[in-house]
């Protein structure tokens, strides 16, 4: 039964890879909407993958979220990647402290025996403060590390779930809902066609920075995120997806 299950997952991986036009897809059995340990399995798979692609002295930029927190929970010393630097991909996006990129970043770095630098920027950020803050030398330094990161690891969320979790102002929630956003990543909200409906103004990695020279790894699972994952990959910003069976089956069936 185990062999059957594993080969079933391998078939799903190939189907999803073709559908989303990705370089690599990894699916863990189960559905993280239903079972919490499935999220940890995705975390473990991500750490394993990271160990294979990251080299010593490189920089990793990460986002926040409970899935990324699971990656941090499973992080361990990476034999192939010593003295790496971990930085948050973007500034504040309105998350609770346990879901913030800064918190997760520090935990990952400590467990991987690497270093970290954090971003302290208030959110929401007005146009005016945005310009002043990015001129601060201490912020500049971290922003330079972020932009030069060789590896980016990020979560993907369901649009309205994320907007509400971040205590987004009502008029922005309406913009997100009226624009029929279904997915969210890096503070960008996408509709089914992958068009950007709304973007949270903050410093750090912008979508256009995800150039092909970087290794971009998305980690997101659960049946409820199928549409969100599909919307994010429409324009195709990342090359690797680590997900679960729940999301994969739903995505292949319904999107």
Residues that bind ligand BG6 (CB under 6 A): 63-67, 93, 95, 99, 155-157, 162, 184-186
Shortest distance in whole angstroms from residue 157 CB to ligand BG6: 3
Give the largest CA-CA distance in the chain: 60
Cβ–Cβ contacts within 10 Å for residue 80, how many? 12
Q: Contacts by 6-11 with C-beta closer than 8 Å and gap 24+? A: 9/245
Nearer to ligand BG6, 81 or 242 (CB): 242
In the complex, which residue's CB is closest to ligand BG6? Answer: 65
- Nearest distance in Å: CB 14, ligand BG6: 25
For the chain, how big is the Rg over CA atoms in Å?
17
Give the whole-angstrom CA distance, residue 190 versus residue 188. Answer: 7
For 50, residues 6+ apart whose C-beta sits below 8 A from its C-beta are: 60, 78, 81, 151, 153, 217
Cβ of residue 22: shortest distance to ligand BG6, in angstroms? 18
Residue 212 tokens, joined: 């092909």
Q: How far is the CB of 94 from ligand BG6 (least distance, A)?
A: 9
Strand-pair partners of 88: 62
Q: Closest separation between CB of residue 105 and ligand BG6, Å?
A: 12
Q: Give the Å distances, CA to CA, from 18 to 45, 69, 198, 220.
A: 20, 29, 28, 18
Q: Output the smallest distance, CB 232 to ligand BG6, in A.
A: 9
Measured from the CB atom, is 30 or 155 closer to ligand BG6?
A: 155
What is the separation of C-alpha 246 from the centre of its chain, rounded to a whole number of angstroms? 18
If the CB atoms of residues 133 and 156 are measured against ligand BG6, the closer one turns out to be 156
Residue the block writes with tokens 């980016």: 152
Nearer to ligand BG6, 117 or 165 (CB): 165
Q: Which one, 49 or 81, has the nearer CB to ligand BG6?
A: 49
Q: Among 98, 96, 31, which Cα is nearest to 68's?
A: 98
Question: Is the Cβ of residue 145 or residue 188 nearer to ligand BG6 in the bound state?
Answer: 188
Least separation, in Å, of the C-beta of 210 and ligand BG6? 13
| Number of neighbours of residue 55 by Cβ within 10 angstroms | 12
Q: 4: Cβ–Cβ under 8 A, 6 or more apart, which residues? A: none
Q: Which is nearer to ligand BG6, 62 or 81 (CB)?
A: 62
Rounded Cα distance between 68 and 42, Å, is: 9
């Amino acid at each position: 039964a185990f062999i059957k299950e594993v080969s079933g997952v391998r078939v799903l991986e190939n189907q999803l890879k073709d559908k989303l036009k990705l370089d690599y897809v990894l699916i863990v059995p189960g559905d993280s909407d239903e079972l919490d340990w499935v999220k940890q399995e995705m975390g473990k798979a991500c750490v394993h993958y990271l160990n294979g692609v990251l080299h010593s002295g490189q920089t990793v930029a990460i986002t926040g979220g409970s899935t990324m927190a699971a990656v941090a929970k499973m992080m361990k010393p990476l034999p192939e990647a010593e003295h790496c630097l971990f930085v948050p991909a973007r500034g504040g996006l309105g998350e609770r402290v346990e879901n913030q990129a800064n918190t997760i970043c520090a935990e990952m770095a400590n467990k991987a025996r690497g270093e970290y630098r954090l971003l302290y920027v208030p959110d929401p950020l007005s146009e005016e403060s945005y310009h002043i803050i990015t001129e601060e030398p201490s912020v500049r330094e971290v922003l330079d590390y972020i932009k030069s990161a060789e590896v980016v690891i990020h979560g993907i969320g369901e649009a309205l779930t994320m907007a509400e979790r971040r205590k987004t102002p009502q008029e922005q929630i309406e913009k997100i809902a009226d624009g029929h956003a279904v997915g969210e990543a890096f503070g960008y909200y996408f509709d089914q066609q992958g068009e950007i409906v709304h973007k949270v103004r903050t410093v750090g990695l912008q979508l256009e920075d995800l150039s092909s020279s970087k290794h971009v790894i998305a980690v997101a699972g659960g049946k409820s995120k199928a549409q969100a994952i599909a919307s994010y990959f429409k324009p195709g910003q990342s090359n690797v997806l680590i997900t679960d069976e729940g999301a994969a089956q739903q995505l292949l069936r319904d999107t």
